[in-house]
Copies of this chain bind each other. A is one copy, B any other.
Amino acid sequence: MDAVLHALADESRRTVLEILRHHPASAGELAEALPIARPGVSRHLRVLREAGLVDVRHDAQRRIYSLRPEALIGVDEWLADYRALWQHRLDALHTEIARGKKART
């Protein structure tokens, strides 16, 4: 999961994911969408590949990248524990609010 979180920490790489979330795209298309030059994008794509977040398909000279959201499952599971915590807090907050209402009546 470390590699995934590291990949997610970069804004450009998240942008790539957002694009791929809607449709697969070639490396060139992705580079056009980012404010950095092709080589830089290639490197970002390598990070995403190694983190298991994207898949590559060869189409002649083109490399078509597509999303592999399964890699995010690990992060999701990690967050699940915390989700229980904040859910608990929100519940407590709601209880508090309800109590306040009751007291005011």
Contacts and interface: CB of A to CB of B under 8 A. Distances in A.
Contacts of A79: 72, 75-76, 79
Contact of A9 (B5, B81, B83): B5
A62 interface: no
B11 A2 contact: yes
Nearest to A79: B76
Interface string A49-74: 00000000000000000010110110
Contacts of A67: 85
A21 B85 CA distance: 8
A5 to B, nearest CB: 5
Given A69-B89, A75-B75, 7 more contacts: A21-B81, A21-B82, A67-B85, A69-B82, A69-B85, A70-B86, A72-B79
Interface of A: 2, 5-6, 8-9, 11, 21, 67, 69-70, 72-73, 75-76, 79, 81-83, 85-86, 89
